[in-house]
Amino acid sequence: DGVEVLMTTIALPMYKDGVFLGTIGVDIVLDTFAKMANSIKVFDTGYTFLIDNYGVMVGHKNKDYLGKDILDITNNSQDYKNLLLNSKENKPYSFTKISENTGSESFYYSTPFELKGTDTYWNFVVLAPTTEYLGNAIFIRNFSIVASLIGLLLIAGVIYLSVRKLNSNLSDISIGLEGFFKYLNKESTTTNDI
């Protein structure tokens, strides 16, 4: 309708009994993929995006990226080169790096998916900021450290008080025994209770 849109076309040959009948194709407006990518919530600031088999961004929350080559956007990042190479072999790929959008260290996980019957793999990528997906683990680590320190201080306090009490008791026994032996040696005429 005269509106400029970013589209992709998927076409498949049709055969019957080994005879080529024709080609069927479908045009997909890439705004659909951008909406799908934006609808997925990953922690607080994480997000998802889609990359086609040529490395072109087809779904991303940043509309400026749509239709652009991922390697151009990321200045030929080796991680994205590896992502695209693994995609061609239908292998997932993950890496950690500073996000171009959020500016924070993030974990990226890419899983390729085949466009049915085409041997063509697109990538679904999830980006999760490290501090967000490790938030519970960091809390547990910090809690464990604090609890351990408090436990050590309590144990040290109990040991200190026990040693003081034991030292006091041993001192009383020692003084009592000295008095008893003085009494036995007739150096004293009285003894003290221990």
Measured distance CA(131)–CA(106) in Å, rounded: 8
Give the residue carrying structure tokens 């990953």: 42
Q: How far is CA 93 from the centre of its chain?
A: 15
pLDDT of residue 146: 96
Collect all residues with Cβ–Cβ distance below 8 Å to 50 and sequence separation of at least 6. 33, 36, 37, 57, 58, 59, 60, 122, 123, 124, 125
Question: Tens digit of pLDDT per residue, the chain (194 long)?
Answer: 787 777 777 788 889 999 999 998 888 777 777 777 778 888 888 888 989 888 988 888 888 888 889 999 888 889 999 999 998 888 999 999 888 777 889 999 999 988 776 778 889 999 999 888 888 888 999 999 999 999 999 999 999 999 999 998 888 888 888 888 888 888 888 877 77
Burial class from Cβ neighbours inside 10 Å (0-12, 13-18, 19+) for residue 56 reads buried
pLDDT of residue 112: 92
Measured distance CA(78)–CA(123) in Å, rounded: 16
Residue 186 phi, psi dihedral angles, 5° rounding: 60, 30
pLDDT of residue 140: 92
